[in-house]
């Protein structure tokens, strides 16, 4: 019989990894832990997870009803950056740490953000279509209307890890960087080579605006119609963060009425995108299916991180990444202790 029981849901989509849970079990197997699957419904999960030592959160919404039914759960772990599928407030009230993977896919998402910026700026999709449709002569005149990238301004709304990595890439193209983030002090922003500014300055000054806000309750529909009206008519909007941080109807109106020039979107308000979404028919919009973090290392890296975080807690230690750290002091878990490099030969 297993010493620890980790409950998760059965996969509802085709896995991009190698299948099974061998990546997670690299850290869990030595502890005598097992991973148990159940149907991805609230009722089935509540029934299966009442005696779970840990929850591997994927495949469904983890509501307050689900979390309140957990009688002995010590940690809820996600293999993603976003934690919007878990009611973190309910977990905090229950005294359960919630972990995520905030630093696993930074480089991939930053690459994707730059790809969307460059592709929208140089009208990559339209240029490709012109060639395929025999409209070769139309390509050059279109780009003659587009300003040179070097010297233009890229503004960030939120300036966390991914935004900073994107900024480093953008500097190589000669872009000026400005950023707004009320949760990061101005010196930190300046040390990253960006000018700290207000939200209104980002909107008014930027030629490209990159959105990186997480999907918190406070960020729901943060960017509204009034904000798009403040942007330059030549501005391009990029979003590789979370779709619900933008009031999509306002963005659509801004694109339809020419308040801004275009958009590159990896995330949408409703996913998968509905077939009648006007964004699908806009030539000045480039879309990708919320896959900015994907690469060959995507599944192995995040799965190993989930296994390690659960193993940390089940071993009595703090997790590496906790989105509700106020609960840790009440869990009895021990802080990570740095290994001394000054130990003698007999220590």
CA 171, 176, 181, 182 torsion: positive or negative?
A: positive
Q: Which residues are catalytic?
A: 242, 271, 290
9's CB contacts (< 8 A; 6+ apart) are 37, 38, 39, 40, 45, 58, 59, 60
**For residue 281, is it left (φ>0), alpha (ψ between -120 and 50) or beta?**
alpha
Q: Alpha-carbon distance 42 to 295, whole Å? A: 31
Mark 45-83 as b/e (b = at least 16 C-beta within 10 Å): bbebbeebbbbbbbbbebbeebbebbeebbbbbbbbbbb
Structure tokens at 220: 């729901």
Q: Alpha-carbon distance 111 to 198, whole Å? A: 26
Is 330 buried (19+), middle (13-18) or exposed (0-12) by CB count in 10 A? exposed
Structure tokens at 306: 């989930």
């Amino acid at each position: 019989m297993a010493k620890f029981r980790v409950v998760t849901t059965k996969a509802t989509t085709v896995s991009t990894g190698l299948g099974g849970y061998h990546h997670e079990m690299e850290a869990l197997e030595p502890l005598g832990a097992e991973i148990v699957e159940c149907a991805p419904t609230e009722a089935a999960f509540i029934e299966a997870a009442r005696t779970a030592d840990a929850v591997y959160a994927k495949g469904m919404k983890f509501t307050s009803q689900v979390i309140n039914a957990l009688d002995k759960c010590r940690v809820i772990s996600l293999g993603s950056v976003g934690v919007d599928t878990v009611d973190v407030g309910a977990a905090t009230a229950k005294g359960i740490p919630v972990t995520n993977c905030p630093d696993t896919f930074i480089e991939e998402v930053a690459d994707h953000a730059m790809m969307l910026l460059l592709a929208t700026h140089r009208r990559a999709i339209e240029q490709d279509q012109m060639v395929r449709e025999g409209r070769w002569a139309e390509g050059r005149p279109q780009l003659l209307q587009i300003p040179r990238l070097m010297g233009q301004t890229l503004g960030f709304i939120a300036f966390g890890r991914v935004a900073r990595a994107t900024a480093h890439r953008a500097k190589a193209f000669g872009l000026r960087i400005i950023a707004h983030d009320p949760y990061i002090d101005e010196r930190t922003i300046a040390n990253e080579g960006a000018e700290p500014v207000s939200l209104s300055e980002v909107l008014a000054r930027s030629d490209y605006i990159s959105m990186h806000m997480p999907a918190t309750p406070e960020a729901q529909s943060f960017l509204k119609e009034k904000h798009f009206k403040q942007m330059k008519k030549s501005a391009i909007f990029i979003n590789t963060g979370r779709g619900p941080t933008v009031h999509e109807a306002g963005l659509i109106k801004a694109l339809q009425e020419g308040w801004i020039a275009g958009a590159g979107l990896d995330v949408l308000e409703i996913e998968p995108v509905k077939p009648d979404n006007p964004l699908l028919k806009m030539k000045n919009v480039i879309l990708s299916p919320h896959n900015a973090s994907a690469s060959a290392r995507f599944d192995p890296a995040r799965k190993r991180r989930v296994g390690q975080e659960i193993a940390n807690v089940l071993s009595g230690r703090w997790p590496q990444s906790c989105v509700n750290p106020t609960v840790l002091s009440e869990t009895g878990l021990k802080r990570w202790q740095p290994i001394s490099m000054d130990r003698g030969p007999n220590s």
